[in-house]
Structure formats: C-alpha cells, structure tokens
Amino acid sequence: MSNLSNKIALVTGGSRGIGAATAKLLAKQGAKVAISYNRSREQAQQVVEEIKGEGGDAVAFQADGSNSNAPSQLVENVIQYWGAGIDILVNNAGVFSTGTLAESGVDIYETNFNLNVRGVYETTRAAVPHLNDHGRVINIGSSVAHYAFPGASAYGATKAAVAGLSRSWAKELASRQITVNTVHPGSINTDMNPDVPDNDFAAYQKTLNPLGRYGTPHEIAVAVAFLAGPDAGFITGSELTVDGGLTA
C-alpha cells in the first residue's frame, strides 16, 4: 500500500510503543517520517533503521515535548531536513503519571499537563505555519478522557483537554482543508501500560474491557493511518475510540 506517497509526517514520541508502530505504518504506506524522542535515542535510531531497511525514509530528533522551547526547534529541524512542509502531524508523546487527589502533589498535575497538553499545544502551534493544505493533525488521547479512572484524574483531564483542543483546531484549520482528529486508545500493551503476567493492574484492565484483552500498538497505528490517508478528508473534529469496547 502506498497511499501516503510523497507525504511528510512528524510523529512525536516515535521511539517506542504506539508512536513507533505509527511511524512504521505511515512509512510503509509511503510517507517520509520524522520521529521525536526524549530519552530513548537508541530505540529511536532502531525505528529509523527499520524503516530504512524496508525501503522507507525516516529521521529522528531529540526533543523534550514538556520543555516549552523544544517543539518549535523540533518543527524547524523537520522542515529543514526534508526541505518541505509537514503533511501529517501525530501528537503522540505522552506520560501517564498517577496518584489519587488525596495522595498526590501538584507535581503529578504538572508532569501530565506539561507534556500531554502544553506539548501538544506548542508542537501544533509551531507546526501550523508549516502544515501543507489538506494536511492532517492526529492527536492521541485516551479512553480515560471518557472513563473515570481513580488515581488518573490529572492524566484523564489532559486527554479530555486534547480532544477539546482538537475540536477547536478542526474549525480553525478547516479553511485550509486541514483535518484535526483525536484517537482515543484503550489499554494498549506498551512500556507505559505493559500487559505482563501477574500484573494486577493489567488483569484489572482486561476485566473492564468487553473484548477481555489489551490492544496492540499496531491496532492504534491503523486508526491513525486511516485518518492520515486520503479517504479521511471529510472527517474532522472527531474522536475515534479504539478501546475494545471499554467506553461503549
């Protein structure tokens, strides 16, 4: 499949998990893919090498999305590297910092919001002047935006905020035929939320999910790739939930 030929994509947090799967799938469909990472340089480089090994084109840039200066530098790096504007922006980098309201300090609020909301806001703000007409912005939310999860109130609020930002941006960017959507994953087997044996939290999540299992990063990547593709041009301001029925 090559329906993203000649498209340039930026996937934040593409070194691991959902972002890595998304970068690989977009590249498989023909896009040139830039990924960002914060700490996992080697894993980011592995993703790049894997894409190149399959005949694709990719590059990785270090950028801490929770640092207010990093997103504009990241976008600048991508524009300079490819010498062209961005067609597909996937705001995927995220952190899941937990604690109940009674137990946690404001640090949990700040950790979640600095990356999951301000990082998304700043990256998109920096990208907007460089987004090509008919472009795509896909923000990774979470089912926790719609499903109360004790101990994850700040995280859940960041993902509800992301969906809200997406809806407004969908209207702001519509005149350029740029679509903006949110993909809400449920429990996905990644380093952030590992589906490992004897893990009570993982077992509990499966009881909440009618399909009784975790999803894979690839199952999120296919939703992102669909929204990034030419067939999804009339879908904007939407929320696509991929959670095995958790929030049904």
Ligand X SMILES: NC(=O)c1ccc[n+]([C@@H]2O[C@H](COP(=O)([O-])OP(=O)(O)OC[C@H]3O[C@@H](n4cnc5c(N)ncnc54)[C@H](OP(=O)(O)O)[C@@H]3O)[C@@H](O)[C@H]2O)c1
Residues known to be catalytic: 155
Neighbours of 42 (CB within 10 A): 9
Pairing of strands 179-185, 86-91: unpaired
Closest to ligand X by CB, 77 or 132: 77
* Token output for 152: 């994850």
Binding residue for ligand X, selected from 9, 115, 117, 228, defined by CB under 6 A: 115
Answer whether 2's CB lies under 8 Å from 30's CB.
Answer: yes
Positions 177 through 216 that interact with ligand X (CB under 6 A): 185, 187-188, 190-193
Closest to ligand X by CB, 191 or 231: 191
Closest to ligand X by CB, 17 or 229: 17
Closest to ligand X by CB, 120 or 131: 120
The least CB distance from residue 39 to ligand X, in Å, is: 4
Positions 120 through 149 that interact with ligand X (CB under 6 A): 140, 142
For the residues of 88-131, what is the DSSP string, one character each? EEEE---------TTT--HHHHHHHHIIIIIIHHHHHHHHGGGE
Nearest to 141 by CA among 159, 120, 129, 123: 159
| Separation CA 44–CA 36 (nearest Å) | 8
The least CB distance from residue 208 to ligand X, in Å, is: 12
Contact letters (x/-) for ligand X, 3-42, by CB under 6 A?
Answer: ---------xxxxxxxx----------------xxxxx--
Answer whether 47's CB lies under 8 Å from 9's CB.
Answer: no
Which range, of 64-72, 79-87, 104-112, 230-238, touches ligand X by CB under 6 A? 64-72
Q: What is the binding site for ligand X (CB under 6 A)?
A: 12-19, 36-40, 63-66, 92-96, 115, 140, 142, 185, 187-188, 190-193
